Each structure stands twice: as structure tokens, then as C-alpha cells.
């Protein structure tokens, strides 16, 4: 049985290393995961799991039957209840065991596991909504204070600021 770890963070300002450390320090002794099987991705949780390039490659080409996929928290799989449910079902159909270290039950295919999955994925979606609200409130507050938001006028996101012209 091969064990993989999936670590996801939303922005380049965040770091996946803490997730990896927590997984390696878990009571279930996931210390034996080789670095090559610790899969890290920086992408928003609102992007469906199977539309994330690294996760898609992991599920379709790297991991297979009788493998274990470990995530620190269920919300690392996503922030949308339906997408999380779909992803967990897909993993189960492929014979991949999912271990979420923040869930108190390990068998997500049992009635209790399905219930816990429903509850925790609903909380992940709720949390996403709260994050969005707080972000909007912060942006509105900054605008009221006169802070200019966005890129400087005349630039694009592909503009190389270090190039001399």
C-alpha cells in the first residue's frame, strides 16, 4: 500500500510546509511518506478538485487502487460541499482510501463516515462564504480610506517590472 499526502494552499503568500509537517507528525505514523509522494499545490479551494492540474494528475496518473491519500483537513480537498462529495466518491470508486486527519472517523464509506463527511464539507463551504464576506468588508473599508486597489494604471499582470526599457 502506497501512501500519498496532498497539501494545498490558496495563495503564493501561504506555505504548504506546515501541512506536510503536521501530516508527518500525525499519530497514524505517516512518517514513512517519501518526499516524492508529498504532492503540493497552490490554488484556490473554490476551484473544483478535478480541475486543479496537480490534483488531476495525482488522481489519474500517480495514485491507484489500494493506495492511501492523506490530507490534513477536509477543506484542503475543496471549499464546495458538492465538489468535496464528488471528489470523495471518485476516490472511493478508484479504490483510493482517503484519510482526513481532522475527521474523527477514518472510514468515510460507512454510514457514520458519510455523515461526518456531509457535516465537515458543509462547514468548509460555510467557511469559504465567511472568508469571502470578510475579504469584501476589508476591501470596502480600504476603499473608504482612499486606498487604491488593483494594478497600477497602464500595467498588465504579465508586465515585467524588473525589465529595463
Walk me through the domains of the chain, giving residue ranges and CATH numbers. Answer: 3-139 (3.40.50.1390)
Residues 14-63 pLDDT 10s: 888 999 999 988 876 555 789 999 999 999 888 999 999 999 999 999 99
User: Which sequence positions are flagged as catalytic?
Assistant: 10
| pTM score, whole prediction | 0.75
Question: Does residue 1 register a pLDDT over 50?
Answer: yes
Question: Does residue 111 register a pLDDT over 50?
Answer: yes
Instruction: Spell 51-64 as b/e; 16+ CB within 10 A means b.
Output: ebeebeebbeeebe
Q: Whose CA is closest to 10, among 42, 47, 49?
A: 42
**Three-state DSSP state, 108:** coil
How much is the pLDDT for 24? 87
Mean pLDDT, the chain, whole residue set = 86
How much is the pLDDT for 162? 53
Amino acid at each position: 500500500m502506497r501512501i500519498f499526502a496532498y497539501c494545498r494552499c490558496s495563495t503564493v503568500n501561504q506555505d504548504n510546509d506546515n501541512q506536510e509537517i503536521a501530516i508527518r507528525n500525525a499519530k497514524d505514523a505517516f512518517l514513512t511518506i517519501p518526499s516524492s509522494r508529498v504532492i503540493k499545490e497552490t490554488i484556490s479551494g473554490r476551484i473544483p478538485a478535478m480541475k486543479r492540474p496537480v490534483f488531476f494528475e495525482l488522481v489519474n496518473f500517480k495514485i491507484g487502487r489500494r493506495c492511501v491519500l492523506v490530507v490534513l483537513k477536509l477543506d484542503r480537498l475543496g471549499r464546495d460541499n458538492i465538489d468535496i462529495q464528488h471528489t470523495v466518491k471518485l476516490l472511493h470508486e478508484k479504490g483510493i482510501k482517503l484519510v482526513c486527519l481532522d475527521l474523527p472517523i477514518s472510514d468515510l464509506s460507512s454510514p457514520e463516515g458519510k455523515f461526518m463527511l456531509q457535516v465537515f464539507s458543509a462547514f468548509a463551504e460555510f467557511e469559504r462564504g465567511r472568508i469571502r464576506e470578510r475579504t469584501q468588508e476589508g476591501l470596502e473599508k480600504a476603499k473608504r480610506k482612499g486606498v487604491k486597489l488593483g494594478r497600477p494604471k497602464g500595467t498588465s499582470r504579465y508586465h515585467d517590472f524588473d525589465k529595463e526599457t
